Amino acid sequence: MRGSPPNHVISGLVPGIHVRDESAAVDGRDKPGHDSGRDGAKAAAMDTNPTIRLDNVTLRRGGREVLSALSLTLTERRIGLIGDNGSGKSSLVRLMNGLLSADVGSVTVHGLDAAKDSSELPRKVGFIFQNPDHQIIFPTVIEEVAFSLEQTGLSRREAASEAKLALARFERAHWADRPVHALSEGEKQLLCIIAVLVMQPAVLVLDEPFSALDLPTRRRLEALIATLDQQVILIAHELDAFGGYDRVLWLEAGRVRMDGAPGEVIAAYRRAVEEGG
């Protein structure tokens, strides 16, 4: 998995997780060309064009303009998006992985044109939804992780084997046959993250991932995210979640109202909320 975090961080994500060293995982080796560990992390770090660019993008949904003539260049490793509900945050990040298409303008993600290369975007941009139940599609843990690996070109048998390795690295080999519905919300979010990271994306987008989590689980998830090599784009209403981030954008009515250092943007947003606008 690209950007595998330190064992002590993963160990704390949900109670009882302890990660073994990669050399101890199952049969002690990874399949060449499909390494989900250190080689994946190196690939992320060596991305030749780690830039997301929107050029004069307008997006309409249901007859309403939700993004208006938006131009952005995103190069930072950690980027936050804040703003009221309906400001365009979720629509913006969905342009980055091909879930939505711009009506006007262009979107380029790490060298891929979102319009021309839309079939490649899901592997380039990993996406974590607010509700893990909207993301998980298989009844068991092993099937969920294996399906992601099949999307990278592995056969069903190879994907099942690699999925076991990935779960073993998280000391969750015993989750393999567990029904997904038996997992807690924090465990489901961890499963979603594992299933995304095994595809070795260059970008990880998280759309309000903390909304259903208690504070301890949220803190552990934040610590995990902080260790990843991927470029991370986080949408959150929890304004204290952006400690250590490089840049925060405040969206309002489909436009960027403020863009800059997290402390300055968040302080301005708080003042606006308190003053009623």
Average pLDDT over residues 205-216: 88
Q: Is the pLDDT of residue 113 over 70?
A: yes
Whether residue 172 is contained in a domain is answered as yes
Whether residue 269 is contained in a domain is answered as yes
* 105-129 as b/e: b if 16+ CB within 10 A: bebbbbebebeeeeeebbbbbbbbb
Report residue 170's pLDDT band, with 50, 70 and 90 as the boundaries: confident
pLDDT over 70 percentage in the chain: 82
Contact 201, 126 (CB under 8 A): yes
pLDDT tens-digit readout, 216-255: 888 888 888 888 899 999 999 999 999 999 999 999 999 9
Give the pairing type, strands 64-74 and 78-82.
Answer: unpaired
Whether residue 103 is contained in a domain is answered as no
Higher-pLDDT residue of 28 and 94 is: 94
Q: What is the DSSP letter of 156?
A: H
Per-residue tokens: 7: 């064992």
Whether residue 259 is contained in a domain is answered as yes
pLDDT tens-digit readout, 119-149: 888 889 999 988 899 899 999 999 999 999 9
Contact 106, 115 (CB under 8 A): yes
Closest CA to 102 of 79, 127, 70: 70
- CATH number, residue 227: 3.40.50.300
Whether residue 104 is contained in a domain is answered as no
Q: What is the pLDDT of residue 277?
A: 66
pLDDT tens-digit readout, 41-72: 444 434 556 799 999 999 999 889 999 999 99
Total structural domains in the chain? 1
Report residue 39's pLDDT band, with 50, 70 and 90 as the boundaries: very low
Average pLDDT over residues 81-109: 94
Average pLDDT over residues 18-42: 36
Burial of 175 (0-12, 13-18, 19+ CB in 10 A): buried
Whether residue 270 is contained in a domain is answered as yes
Closest CA to 276 of 88, 84, 90: 84
Whether residue 50 is contained in a domain is answered as no
Structural domain containing residue 165:
7-45+77-90+120-274
Whether residue 72 is contained in a domain is answered as no
Q: What is the pLDDT of residue 20?
A: 35
Lowest mean pLDDT among 83-92, 129-138, 257-266: 129-138
